[in-house]
Amino acid sequence: MSRGVQTGRLWFFYGLALIASVLAVVVWSTRETPTLESAPADTGRGAELYSSMCASCHGGDLRGTDLGPSHLSILYEPNHHTDDSFRSAITNGARQHHWSFGDMVPVVGLDDDDIDAIIAYVRQQQQIQGFEG
């Protein structure tokens, strides 16, 4: 095989490697990564509802009390406890499974919009404050 053919093949493979690298960067940068679920822009109502309906157990600062766990615990990040998990716990209560606080009873008096506002507030605060280990 002549030196010119070898050089041509080498440049061909360099070109393929470059194209593959560029494609990998494009795919990697545009892939969907797990993020906090979308929250409505106005979480003020959620903050008020959280304060009146949730803070007595989960703390006004979301860091928990002796009655309930912190919502800033890494266990409550969206990939572990989804918004639907929060919704179910609020609506139906939740059996004790991560903590020793006992079962959570359902929270009465909230409609779907109220629950969505509370979840949006919690997710916003998780984003702002970060998660604890």
Residue-wise pLDDT for 88-124, tens only, equals 999 999 999 888 999 999 999 999 999 999 999 999 9
Tens-place pLDDT, residues 70-95:
999 999 999 999 999 999 999 999 99
Q: Is residue 16 part of a domain?
A: no
Query: What pTM value is reported for the model?
Result: 0.69
Res 11: pLDDT = 80
Q: Is residue 12 part of a domain?
A: no
Q: Which domain holds residue 97?
A: 44-129
CA distance 16 to 54: 57
Q: Is residue 95 part of a domain?
A: yes
Mean residue pLDDT across the chain: 84
Q: How many domains does the chain have?
A: 1
Q: Is residue 10 part of a domain?
A: no
- 42 in the Ramachandran plot: left (φ > 0), alpha (ψ -120 to 50) or beta? beta
Question: Does the structure show a pLDDT above 70 at 39?
Answer: no
Q: Higher pLDDT residue, 22 or 36?
A: 22
List alpha helices for the chain, DSSP H.
Answer: 3-30, 44-53, 55-58, 83-92, 112-129
Neighbours of 117 (CB within 10 A): 23
Res 133: pLDDT = 81
Q: Is residue 114 part of a domain?
A: yes
The domain that holds 112 is classified in CATH as: 1.10.760.10
Q: Is residue 55 part of a domain?
A: yes
Q: Is residue 21 part of a domain?
A: no
Q: Is residue 25 part of a domain?
A: no
CA distance 61 to 71: 9
